[in-house]
Structure 1
């Protein structure tokens, strides 16, 4: 048991160290975690023989719940107002189109029965929230493009999961091979229950957090435990736990909540740990030598998804919406990132005992590798090429709550006056600060400067503000006007 702890902690430490090279090398950090897991596996230098699919499935689901809870908390209601309908179209119709086109070609390439080909299509039909949230976090995209990708990745897993389970049941002859009313009713039930429990559960968790007086470090644990419990209950009731935990995070992130910044800070760390553990375990689960026999046809199928199936699903999914330019549609097509979810879904056939289960897993894993390698490494280039990068906003170098009441009604923000900023050489008394926003300190070349109205702000000054939460957006406008 002790050796497992040593190996596990060593793998996490190596993953964290290697993550610092990710941006320099232009390699997605999730790909590094995945490859490291493969190197530690049975065919790699670690020689770890791990093949417990039920454990991998459980840990991956827990990790995915934490990632989606954090992703939902960082998604603003404004994003839903901007891109809800287009994103929902991509997460339903888009997944069906991608899965169908992929399934037909998969059956032809691998010489499978059409239902088996469709099963492969369903497994890899959705984009992955962990990959999208991770890779888009450092790219400043246009608001409606970013919102579309975030909401799509957070809401398209239920459709892919539904199609996968239906096809597995069909192959096992538990359901007829056609879609009937009962199947459609179950789909609406799964989506509806996920939405209902996610919104109600998130609202209840907000109320509980705001009413209880606890040690400050317990609030993040309460929010995390509440989200995971909601995820589990929704799954137990055969709803979409993935959708419910994402919406729970959305409620937590957009309503007044006690100790918001402590919660966000802990969620950041937990999300990183979840991504590391999930991709390491999924990497351990695969036997790299098994991928060689399916490499050529799987590579061909990967290219079909990237260059044909995903673009067609975006084209038809967003056809009713005229807000996207051709270049934006091209970028949305390119960011059809596959990640942890297809690998997790590929475990379903193994747990169901299907004959070609290991084959489905290997194909899905290979396609995820290619997606992260080709699409993941080129996102910034694609964003520049298609002109979807927005003007970089001036962000505070620190932001935190200083009130421990029901909501953080007062906050502290620290900004640095950048070279070339329009606020450089401006006297403090001419700043036109919003009401209830005050400068409390200035640091210039690591020395404290007394705050008086006639003082002039210089480049690279560190300025500390205190303000009411309701007025902070006006301060952000001041720095970015």
Structure 2
């Protein structure tokens, strides 16, 4: 019994230290995932903890379980609008992108390490795919707002490329261990089963789960438990029938997350904590597996492989895959750079060890070192490179918090909190004045928090900087109210610098704008609306916020889009 209690104490201590270390991570600007890894390494056999742990089978089970939870959470937060914008290019990157990366890196690793070609390509397949956990975590906590097309492409690619990576690793292990029984047709059949069963199981399982969340009347905390257990059920069942459990659980999360119900809010709040627990547990366990002196011995080789992966293989794979979708050079450069490696390569590196591939420990050490370098170099520079390549858009005013009160199965009242910023439009106004030109019957302030305490609303109440005002706001007015609380002189100047001095209706004729400002357009373009001109310049692709076209020295920028992706307002920037 003492041994069991000691195990509980050890697990609790490691997770507690991992969570506490995130405050240090924020100060140092390091990815949180590295801090979890560091706690595991320090607790390992060559660290201060001295814990001897080399059970790769257990670590693989923990890693796959954690990845399933992370992908489920990522799917729940992925909006279908993202698929409308970036499904095709992301699918190309998740398939061709992985194959091209593996082929290029495999040739380099075979030559540089003087390995057998099958061993070199196996190593490349292990680190060839981007990691969903790392991408979701680092992009959403980077502090910058990316161009929607770039963000959607990276997130969908990372969630969908695991089947191809697993297929390649499995095929190459079979080719290494039993070359006489391995054939192209059997590999292709395996890939079709992985994708087919994964898509089918994810779609069916997601629909079932979404129906259950809408129809079952459970205690609030049980909805998230039902979604997690259902997701793991889909994951395990899909793997058993030969499909991709990772693809299935990600797709199921997308379906559940996009069918709004009374359970959605509770599920997302609980899933956020579960996803963090999964990431912390997984990286701590992976850190325990590492022997630092072996990692140091492979450091130079891992640096060369990581450099080739980041600077040659990934960029070539990205450009060759998505150039026809008319991404700008800056966007392709950023997508190439954010090819983050995380827990997936380390988990895949354990497969050769478990299956008995000769010298597989070397593969594990090199893969682990590549992941650390990727997180250190790419993970820490995500916001810097985004600003440098100009793939960011100005921050969007948003509520600081939100709640929903469900009145029935399909009707709810949204409650939103807004913080009053100094120099904003709302400062000095009565809470009701903020929405006086809107529908006062549906938009109203019902609570004001000042210095952490509730302030009684009266006729002489005036909003002060730092106040938190809670409103009932219909969906179509959420952003309008947010601007009045968040827009200050500096934010307005930032928007002017980015979008331009004037707001233009995209339904306006391009010829009228050309006549007003003396712009040169050919006869075909003059007869188009500005919306049509954007579509023509973008060759049919859907423009997103921040996309630009040049007409002489003037710049038209997409300033705002509707929920269906159509342009709502354009910004016009005149030459200095």
Q: TM-score range by the shorter chain?
A: over 0.9
Aligned to 1:71: 74
Distance 1:98 1:327 in 2: 20
Return 5+ residue gaps in structure 2 as ranges.
Answer: 485-576
Q: CA-to-partner distance for each residue in 1:88-142, whole Å, 9 max, x for gaps? A: 1111111011111111111112111111100001110000011111111123211
Distance 2:434 2:339 in 1: 47
State the Cα distance separating 1:451 from its structure 2 match.
Answer: 6.3
DSSP-derived class of the 1:421 partner: coil
Q: 1:336 to 1:408 in 2, by over 3 A?
A: farther
| Contact kept in structure 1, 2:407 and 2:413, CA below 8 Å | no
Aligned to 2:178: 173
| Contact kept in structure 2, 1:434 and 1:474, CA below 8 Å | no
State the Cα distance separating 1:404 from its structure 2 match.
Answer: 6.5
Q: CA-to-partner distance for each residue in 1:245-287, whole Å, 9 max, x for gaps? A: 1111111111022322111111011111111100000111121
State the Cα distance separating 1:17 from its structure 2 match.
Answer: 0.7
Aligned to 2:110: 107
Q: 1:319 to 1:428 in 2, by over 3 A?
A: closer
Q: 1:41 to 1:473 in 2, by over 3 A?
A: farther
Matches within 5 A, 1:190-339: 190-322=194-326, 324-339=327-342
| Contact kept in structure 2, 1:442 and 1:451, CA below 8 Å | no
Distance 2:106 2:192 in 1: 23
Q: 1:460 to 1:194 in 2, by over 3 A?
A: same
RMSD: 2.0
Distance 2:96 2:10 in 1: 43
Distance 2:133 2:455 in 1: 42
State the Cα distance separating 1:447 from its structure 2 match.
Answer: 5.2
Aligned: 1:147 with 2:158? no
Aligned to 1:353: 356
Aligned to 2:192: 188
Aligned to 1:120: 123
| Contact kept in structure 2, 1:256 and 1:406, CA below 8 Å | no
Return 5+ residue gaps in structure 1 as ranges.
Answer: none
Aligned to 1:438: 444
Q: 1:405 to 1:59 in 2, by over 3 A?
A: farther
Q: Which has the higher contact order (CA 8 A, sep 6+)?
A: 1
- Greater Cα offset, 255-264 or 230-239: 255-264
Q: 1:447 to 1:291 in 2, by over 3 A?
A: closer
State the Cα distance separating 1:325 from its structure 2 match.
Answer: 1.5
| Contact kept in structure 1, 2:214 and 2:263, CA below 8 Å | no
Aligned: 1:465 with 2:471? yes
Aligned to 1:341: 344
Q: 1:223 to 1:175 in 2, by over 3 A?
A: farther
Q: 1:4 to 1:389 in 2, by over 3 A?
A: same
Distance 1:184 1:13 in 2: 45
What is the number of residues matched between the two proteins?
Answer: 475
State the Cα distance separating 1:298 from its structure 2 match.
Answer: 1.6
DSSP-derived class of the 1:151 partner: helix
Distance 1:28 1:408 in 2: 40
Question: Of the candidates 357, 376, 379, which is equivalent to residue 376 of structure 1?
Answer: 379
Question: Of the candidates 73, 84, 95, which is equivalent to residue 81 of structure 1?
Answer: 84
DSSP-derived class of the 1:364 partner: helix
Aligned to 2:457: 450
- Greater Cα offset, 30-39 or 120-129: 30-39
- Greater Cα offset, 456-465 or 200-209: 456-465
Distance 1:405 1:295 in 2: 59
- Tell me the TM-score normalized by structure 1: 0.94
Distance 1:429 1:285 in 2: 57
Question: Of the candidates 419, 422, 425, which is equivalent to residue 419 of structure 1?
Answer: 422
- Tell me the TM-score normalized by structure 2: 0.79
State the Cα distance separating 1:174 from its structure 2 match.
Answer: 5.1
DSSP-derived class of the 1:410 partner: strand
Distance 1:477 1:219 in 2: 32
DSSP-derived class of the 1:442 partner: strand
Q: CA-to-partner distance for each residue in 1:323-364, whole Å, 9 max, x for gaps? A: x22111111111011000000001110111111111111111
Q: CA-to-partner distance for each residue in 1:404-448, whole Å, 9 max, x for gaps? A: 643462221111122233444552453425873432223455452
Distance 2:441 2:111 in 1: 66
Q: CA-to-partner distance for each residue in 1:278-317, whole Å, 9 max, x for gaps? A: 0000111121111233221221111000111111111111
- Higher-Rg structure is 2
Q: 1:73 to 1:405 in 2, by over 3 A?
A: same
| Contact kept in structure 2, 1:260 and 1:401, CA below 8 Å | no
